């Protein structure tokens, strides 16, 4: 199948050809016809499946069919959880819609209001926004959402994880109840499904690459290593594996900052990216990484969602995530567009339960690399098991004490 088979208008086909795209991905094949028919959409899709084009292309076509109102009004609204993702979605609308005559704007926090408010006052057709900045502009009277016909919730699961549900509810109150809604999420946890059921009307359901699966283009490697030896092991791999650029995942902002400092002290150009970094810093860091000026980008999961870097050959899990699905999202940053990639995972003895959860989810054991300078010993596992048992025992004792005082 080609994009010609999806009955797209010439201006969009020209733009796609200019971008070098000829064949739609599976989610685009399923989603674009449904959206063009005016149906609501419930899509389960991970980052890297082509989901942005799956909603951007049909939205551009639907709006292009209409006469542009005078004055221009926001007819399509896309909500995203992070600034980076909002920027990338905006770039996609600009690229695919370059010949449609439609105007789009991206708004997010951390940057001055003036440019955003001036563009809004001049009139736009499509607004891509993070919830916080959108509500700020709405409260100040710069945004009118009364003519929104199309609403997209992109990465809805991440928005809920970040506590945006109250903001989403406020946005829903500000837009027409009669509209077309497109709901995209990498996972369908109970609270995500509950929100989808509330805002969608007889949606077409599309599911591509379930979250439990990992791409066949990704080679996975597991290194058992003590927590204290993780940084030395990382430096060893950077030196001996010929890694020119890698994304390293941490669980916390503090951990990301600390590791970036340690790497820089060792002569490795590294930067941390997380929610506490100012927007200008985040954009600068990402550009530096994309141009290989920064060799190691240390990221938290929230900050990494929306980061899309071409030809990223290595991803390293310095710490295992608490949610096994997050592992699949992390390693999906490499091995894209048919290229091979490698996902390296460090696992301490105490992290073994997290590793087991990941392997249960994916149904595959991650191949272990034994030959490295900092292997774990059997005693390390024994000590971790004893420590875990002691903690559980203390919790039970504390629980009995509380019950006894009732």
Does 186 reside within a domain?
A: yes
Residues 116 and 152 in one domain: yes
User: How long, in residues, is the chain?
Assistant: 406
pLDDT digits (tens, 9 = 90+) for 48-81: 678 899 999 999 999 999 998 888 999 999 999 9
* Between 255 and 395, the higher pLDDT residue: 255
Sorting pLDDT into bands at 50, 70 and 90, what band is 395?
very low
Tell me: do 151 and 299 sit in the same domain: no
Q: What confidence score (pLDDT) does residue 402 get?
A: 45
Range of the domain at 71: 3-208
Q: For 311-346, write each residue's pLDDT tens digit.
A: 889 999 999 988 787 888 889 888 877 788 999 999
pTM across the whole model: 0.62
d(CA 290, CA 333): 13
- Can you give the pLDDT at residue 188? 82
Residue 309 is classified by DSSP as -
Tens digits of residue pLDDT in 72-106: 999 999 999 988 788 889 988 998 999 999 999 99
Do β-strands 204-208 and 104-107 pair in parallel, antiparallel, or remain unpaired?
unpaired
Q: What is the pLDDT of residue 391?
A: 55
Task: Please state the rounded mean pLDDT for residues 250-273.
Answer: 94
Same-domain check for residues 126 and 10: yes
In a domain, 50, yes or no: yes
Residue 13's CATH number: 3.40.50.300
At residue 209, the pLDDT reads 62
For residues 36 and 136, state if they share a domain. Answer: yes
Q: Are residues 199 and 119 in the same domain?
A: yes
Q: Is 218 helix (H, G, I), strand (E, B) or coil?
A: strand
- Euclidean distance between CA atoms 193 and 185, whole angstroms: 10
Residue 47 banded pLDDT, cuts 50, 70, 90:
low
Is there a single domain that holds both residue 10 and residue 142? yes
Average pLDDT, the chain: 88
SS (HEC) of 43-90 = EEECCCCCHHHHHHHHHHHHHHCCCCCCCCCCCEEEECCCHHHHHHHH
The residue-averaged pLDDT of 112-130 equals 93
Q: Phi first, then psi: give them for residue 106, nearest 5 degrees.
A: -110, 130
Which of 179, 208, 237 terminates a domain? The answer is 208
* Residue (of 58, 30, 62, 59) closest to 44 by Cα position: 30
- Tell me whether residue 69 is in a domain: yes
Looking at the structure of the chain, the number of domains it has is 2
DSSP state of 348: -
Confirm if 182 and 51 have CB atoms less than 8 A apart.
Answer: no
Tokens standing for 50? 């082509």
Place of tokens 């399923």: 30
Query: What single-letter DSSP state applies at residue 301?
Result: H
What pLDDT, on the 0 to 100 scale, is given for residue 210? 58
Place 306 in a pLDDT band, splitting at 50, 70 and 90.
Answer: low
Over residues 159-168, the pLDDT tens digits come to: 998 889 999 9
Same domain, 262 and 360: yes
In this prediction, residue 332 carries a pLDDT of: 85
Is 393 contained in some domain?
A: no
59, 35: one domain: yes
Distance CA 274, CA 303 (A): 5
**Rounded to whole angstroms, how far apart are CA atoms 41 and 35?**
7
Per-residue pLDDT of 173-197, as tens digits, reads: 999 999 999 999 987 888 899 999 9
Quick check: is 399 in a domain?
Answer: no
Q: Are residues 179 and 250 in the same domain?
A: no
Instruction: Give the pLDDT of residue 18.
Output: 84
Position with higher pLDDT, 87 vs 372? 372
With 80 as the cut, is the pLDDT of residue 303 above it?
A: no
Is the bond preceding 400 in cis, omega lying within 30 degrees of 0?
A: no
Helix axes 253-265, 230-240, angle to 10 degrees: 50
- In a domain, residue 66? The reply is yes
Q: How far is CA 186 from CA 33, 46, 47, 329, in A?
A: 21, 5, 7, 8
Radius of gyration of the chain (CA): 23
Last residue of a domain, one of 171, 188, 208: 208
The residue out of 186, 208, 230 marking a domain boundary is 208
Does the residue 281 lie in any domain? yes
**What is the DSSP secondary structure assignment for residue 376, as one 8-state letter?**
P
Lowest model confidence (mean pLDDT) among 3-7, 290-294, 390-394: 390-394
Q: Within a domain: residue 27?
A: yes
Residues 201 and 239 in one domain: no
Are residues 227 and 156 part of one domain? no
Q: Are residues 173 and 246 in the same domain?
A: no
Count other C-beta atoms under 10 Å from residue 302's C-beta. 16
Local confidence band at 406 (pLDDT 50, 70, 90 cut-offs): very low
């Amino acid at each position: 199948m080609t994009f010609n088979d999806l009955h797209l208008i010439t201006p969009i086909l020209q733009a796609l050809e200019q971008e070098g795209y000829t064949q739609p991905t599976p989610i685009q094949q399923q989603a674009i016809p449904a959206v063009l028919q005016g149906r609501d959409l419930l899509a389960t899709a991970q980052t890297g499946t082509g989901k942005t084009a799956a909603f951007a292309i049909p939205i551009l076509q639907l709006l292009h069919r209409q006469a542009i109102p005078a004055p221009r009004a926001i007819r399509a609204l896309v909500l995203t959880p992070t600034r980076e993702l909002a920027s990338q979605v905006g770039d996609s609308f600009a690229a695919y819609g370059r010949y449609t005559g439609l105007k789009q704007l991206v708004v997010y926090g951390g940057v001055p209001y003036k440019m955003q408010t001036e563009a809004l006052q001049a009139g736009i057709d499509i607004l891509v926004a993070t919830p916080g900045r959108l509500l700020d502009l709405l409260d100040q009277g710069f945004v009118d959402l009364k003519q929104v016909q199309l609403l997209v919730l992109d990465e809805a699961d991440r928005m809920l994880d970040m506590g945006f549900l109250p903001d989403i509810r406020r946005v829903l109150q500000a837009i027409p109840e009669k509209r077309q809604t497109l709901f995209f999420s990498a996972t369908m946890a109970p609270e995500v499904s509950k929100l989808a059921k509330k805002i969608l009307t007889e949606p077409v359901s599309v599911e591509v690459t379930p979250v439990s699966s990992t791409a066949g283009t990704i080679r996975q490697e597991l290194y058992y290593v003590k927590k204290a030896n993780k940084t030395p092991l990382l430096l060893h791999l950077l030196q001996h594996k010929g890694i020119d650029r890698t994304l390293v995942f941490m669980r916390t902002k503090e951990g990301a900052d600390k590791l970036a400092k340690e790497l820089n002290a060792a002569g490795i150009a590294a930067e941390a990216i997380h929610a506490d970094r100012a927007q200008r810093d985040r954009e600068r860091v990402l550009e530096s990484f994309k141009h290989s000026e920064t060799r190691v980008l240390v990221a938290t999961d929230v900050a990494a969602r929306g980061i899309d870097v071409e030809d990223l050959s290595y991803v390293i899990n310095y710490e295992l995530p608490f949610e096994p699905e997050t592992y699949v999202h992390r390693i999906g940053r490499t091995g894209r567009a048919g290229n091979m990639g490698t996902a390296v995972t460090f696992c301490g003895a105490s992290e073994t339960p997290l590793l087991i959860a990941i392997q249960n989810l994916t149904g595959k054991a991650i191949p272990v690399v034994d030959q490295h300078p900092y292997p774990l010993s059997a005693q390390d596992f024994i000590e971790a098991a004893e420590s875990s048992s002691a903690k559980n025992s203390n919790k039970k004792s504390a629980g009995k004490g509380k019950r006894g005082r009732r």
